[in-house]
Structure 1
Amino acid sequence: MPTHELVICPATAGDLDVVGDIYAHYVTSSVATFDENPPEASDWQRKLDDLNARHLPFLIARAGDEIVGFAYAAPWRVKPAYRYSVEDTIYLAPDRTGRGTGRALLDALLRQCAASGVRQVIAVIADTGSDASVTLHRSVGFREVGRLTGVGHKHGRWIDTVLMQLDLTDQS
């Protein structure tokens, strides 16, 4: 389905089972996330409730009746002085990569972050050997600001993370 047929909208409680299924794929079969066990449905509901209370976006992408990806912005750190900085998260159904879905989600996420008063968006990207996430973030203006070496261990390997940042106050 072409990208123009995507609908990006806020996630609801009824979407969370599919969100959980998409994420579980990456938990069990990749190092894209450092989670080792898929979150329970109640964990996803708590996340949705928390982000809604903070006026931060949790979005899904629909192609027809199918949820094909999700994205959200969560607090970067819990200390109050970090309240204008968030970390973005984007995951796509495995058969939706390379089709513009990630870009559509990220664009919508950044617009909603800016509208919510967010100033800085940080991406913490596992260095999996694929440049897809780094390339996606760079395409909307993120810049690489650091690398953490060997900070994750999953599926028998040590994994670096790439830190990228976007200053929403510089967006025109």
Structure 2
Amino acid sequence: MTSSSARQPVIRDATPGDFDAIARIYSHYVLHALATFEEAPPSADEMRARHAAIVAAGLPYLVAELDGEITGYAYASAYRARSAYRHTIEDSVYVADGFGGRGIGLALLSALIARCEQGPWRQMVAVIGSSGNAGSIALHARLGFEHVGVLRNVGFKLGGWVDSVLMQRPLGMTVS
């Protein structure tokens, strides 16, 4: 018999019924971590509204499900609103507290990249909260992201100044 820690999650598109779990996952990061600079946890309804805007823009929003439980989620969003950035997107990946180190983030980000490579986008940017977020930095590097910069002390959260690490990788056909 295979243990749940050895099984791979099912990666699928998020559905409206997933957002109570997604809001719980995200709330952990909002309240206790530096992965997001948001400081007040949004409701499940707010997360549903964000999802609707992302999918309306034609971008993927995925969840990882293991034994019927949502154990993480990932999505792509516009990198910036200005039209010249239209071929560049930003990824976001969150794994449920207690499920780190099981390959869930890798499965989510791999699937997200694959989906985004089918679209018109040519660059994916990771804006990683905190230079100390070694897990996210390593995950992105493993999947071909290059470190392109650090914005020093641009956020203030949990009583201290926080950097943002910038990583980037090409998608699909690259530009020369």
Q: TM-score normalised to the size of structure 2?
A: 0.92
Measure how far apart 1:4 and its partner are: 4.0
Measure how far apart 1:44 and its partner are: 1.1
Deviations 1:60-80 (A, max 9, x none): 000011000000000001112
Equivalent position SS for 2:172? helix
Give, as a single letter, the amino acid of the residue that structure 2 aligns with 1:151. V
Would you say 1:133 and 2:136 are equivalent positions? yes
Kept in 1, the 8 Å contact 2:76–2:90? The answer is: yes
- Which runs of no fewer than 5 residues in structure 1 stay unpaired? none
> What fraction of aligned residue pairs are identical, expressed as a percent?
43
Of 75, 80, 83, 1:77 maps to: 80
Q: TM-score normalised to the size of structure 1?
A: 0.94
Measure how far apart 1:3 and its partner are: 5.3
Equivalent pairs counted in the alignment come to 171
- Which runs of no fewer than 5 residues in structure 2 stay unpaired? none
Would you say 1:119 and 2:131 are equivalent positions? no
Kept in 2, the 8 Å contact 1:3–1:101? The answer is: no
Corresponding position of 1:56? 59
Equivalent position SS for 1:70? strand
Equivalent position SS for 2:138? helix
Corresponding position of 2:149? 146
Measure how far apart 1:41 and its partner are: 2.2
Corresponding position of 2:35? 32
Deviating 4+ runs (over 6 angstroms) = none
Higher helix share: 1
